[in-house]
């Protein structure tokens, strides 16, 4: 019997009616002759609510306790979805991360899946049950609860699909698939029939939260083909898979935006070996996730570094740098800018096409939007702009590449 893993996100289980809808969909899939494993997120807003409670109580709460707290969100929804299924006469059972055998490593709140021991899931499937697995959680070999980073139920679903060698993996969400840009921002964005792992990964890691980026990395590594589609209708979604010659022949597959970014620039750094290592080392020790890194030598003979990061890390980054710079570079200065956002264009076609940057920058210029920093990779060009203008920027670049049109 084919095995289907379906992942239902927070909005899809966001109310009792939505939970009944999920249960009906699971039942339908089962009635069509499939074994079903549904991986579910916490009801929408629940994880945010738990985080807020913890922060109101403790300022900077212990990450171990944050994991214990946040994992409860998914535990509520697996029980509720299982109950809804049982009400419909389906033999269903909830499974926590631990029961699913999801073994993690790494830090609290950012656990990484090391392996899955699917024995219990397999046994219950053999007994004819449909399973409802808690997303976003796993357990360390020492028995500590870990969560897998925000949006981590996507990773649970992909990893469970790999471990059970599922025939189909569906990420069911509140949009019909992966679009050329967030359809809430660019109204005429187009749903893509297919996207390669590399493009999905670049889009996810530059702000397209439709998929958690680590889940896409995992899918690529283990060759899990998956489909992103709506939990509310039966429209075909977007297949995410290894690139192949028959994919739509486009230069730009999509555009991502990421808000709440900040820039930090250090000037007056002595132009000497080892300085960059010490500066980046201090930021790494403070667990700051840097995004863009741009360095150059100013004409005064001193070096300057500019970094972007999430704006919530700015204070921590400044404090970490002040500590090292006082000794290393007493004449250095730190300058910061918050309220910026990042716009990225992504496409494997960029490998063999030139002129993408020119089209992108002209579109922004024509819309009177100033570009801050620029960074590029083989399949991505990213710029920072004033956060107030990010939606205009996305729309003008989307128009310039005519992404609303299906390629001929």
Among 209, 259, 310, 404, binds ligand ADP (CB under 6 A): 209
Scanning 64-72, 162-170, 174-182, 356-364 for contacts with ligand ADP by CB under 6 A, the matching segment is 174-182
Among 4, 19, 73, 178, binds ligand ASP (CB under 6 A): 73
Among 97, 101, 111, 135, binds ligand ASP (CB under 6 A): 135
For 86, other C-beta atoms within 10 Å of its C-beta total 14
Residue numbers 349-408 binding ligand ASP by CB under 6 A: none
CB of 280 to ligand ADP, least distance (A): 30
237 binding ligand ADP? (CB under 6 A): no
Alpha-carbon distance values, 116 to 38, 80, 130, 157, 290 (Å): 16, 24, 18, 12, 30
41 binding ligand ASP? (CB under 6 A): yes
Among 34, 82, 96, 153, binds ligand ASP (CB under 6 A): 153
Locate tokens 């985080």: which residue? 51
Locate tokens 């599922």: which residue? 166
Q: Check if the beta carbon of residue 311 is closer than 8 Å to that of residue 287.
A: no
Scanning 8-16, 90-98, 99-107, 159-167 for contacts with Mg ion by CB under 5 A, the matching segment is 8-16
135 binding Mg ion? (CB under 5 A): no
384 binding ligand ADP? (CB under 6 A): no
Q: How many residues does the chain have?
A: 408
Q: How many residues bind ligand ADP (CB under 6 A)?
A: 19
47 binding ligand ASP? (CB under 6 A): yes
Q: Check if the beta carbon of residue 229 is closer than 8 Å to that of residue 170.
A: yes
Scanning 118-126, 167-175, 274-282, 309-317 for contacts with ligand ADP by CB under 6 A, the matching segment is 167-175
Alpha-carbon distance values, 321 to 260, 296, 300, 336 (Å): 21, 18, 22, 12
Beta bridge partners of 382: 344, 375
Q: How far apart are CA 247 and CA 258, in angstroms?
A: 27
Q: Write the CB contacts of 381 (distance below 8 Å, at least 6 apart in sequence).
A: 344, 345, 350, 356, 357, 360, 374, 375
Residues near Mg ion (CB under 5 A) are 9, 151
Residues near ligand ADP (CB under 6 A) are 9-12, 41, 151, 173-175, 178-179, 181-184, 208-210, 254
Residues near ligand ASP (CB under 6 A) are 9-10, 41-42, 47, 73, 135-136, 150-154
């Amino acid at each position: 019997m084919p095995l289907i893993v379906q992942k239902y996100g927070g909005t899809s289980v966001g109310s009792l009616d939505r939970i009944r809808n999920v249960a009906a969909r699971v039942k339908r899939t089962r009635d069509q002759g499939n074994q079903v494993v549904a991986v579910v997120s916490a009801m929408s807003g629940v994880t945010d609510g738990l985080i807020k409670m913890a922060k109101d109580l403790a300022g900077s709460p212990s990450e171990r306790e944050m994991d214990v707290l946040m994992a409860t969100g998914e535990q509520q929804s697996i029980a509720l979805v299982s109950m809804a299924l049982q009400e419909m006469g389906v033999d269903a059972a909830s499974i926590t991360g631990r029961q699913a055998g999801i073994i993690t490593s790494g830090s609290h709140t950012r656990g990484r899946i090391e392996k899955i021991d699917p024995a219990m899931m397999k046994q219950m499937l053999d007994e004819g049950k449909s399973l409802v697995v808690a997303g976003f959680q796993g357990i360390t070999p020492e028995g500590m609860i870990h969560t897998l980073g925000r949006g981590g139920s996507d990773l649970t679903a992909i990893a469970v699909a790999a471990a059970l060698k599922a025939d189909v993996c569906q990420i069911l969400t509140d949009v019909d698939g992966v679009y050329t840009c967030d359809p809430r921002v660019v109204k005429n964005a187009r749903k893509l029939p297919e996207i390669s792992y590399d493009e999905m990964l670049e889009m996810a890691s530059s702000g397209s939260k439709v998929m958690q980026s680590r889940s896409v990395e995992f899918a690529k590594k283990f060759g899990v083909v998956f489909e992103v589609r709506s939990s509310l209708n039966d429209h075909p979604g977007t297949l995410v898979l290894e690139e192949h010659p028959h994919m739509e022949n486009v230069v730009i597959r999509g555009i991502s935006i990421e808000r709440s970014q900040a820039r930090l620039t250090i000037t007056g750094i002595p132009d000497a070996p080892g300085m960059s290592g010490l500066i980046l080392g201090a930021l790494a020790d403070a667990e700051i996730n840097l995004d863009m890194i741009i360095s150059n030598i100013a004409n005064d003979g001193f070096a300057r570094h500019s970094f972007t990061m999430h704006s919530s890390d700015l204070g921590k980054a400044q404090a970490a740098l002040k500590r090292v710079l006082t000794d290393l570079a007493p004449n250095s200065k730190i300058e910061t800018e918050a309220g910026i956002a990042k716009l990225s264009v992504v496409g494997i076609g960029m490998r063999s096409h030139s002129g993408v940057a020119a089209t992108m920058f002209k579109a922004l210029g024509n819309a009177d939007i100033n570009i801050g920093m620029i960074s590029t990779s083989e399949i991505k060009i990213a710029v920072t702009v004033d956060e107030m203008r990010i939606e205009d920027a996305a729309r003008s670049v989307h128009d310039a590449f005519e992404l609303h049109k299906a390629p001929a």
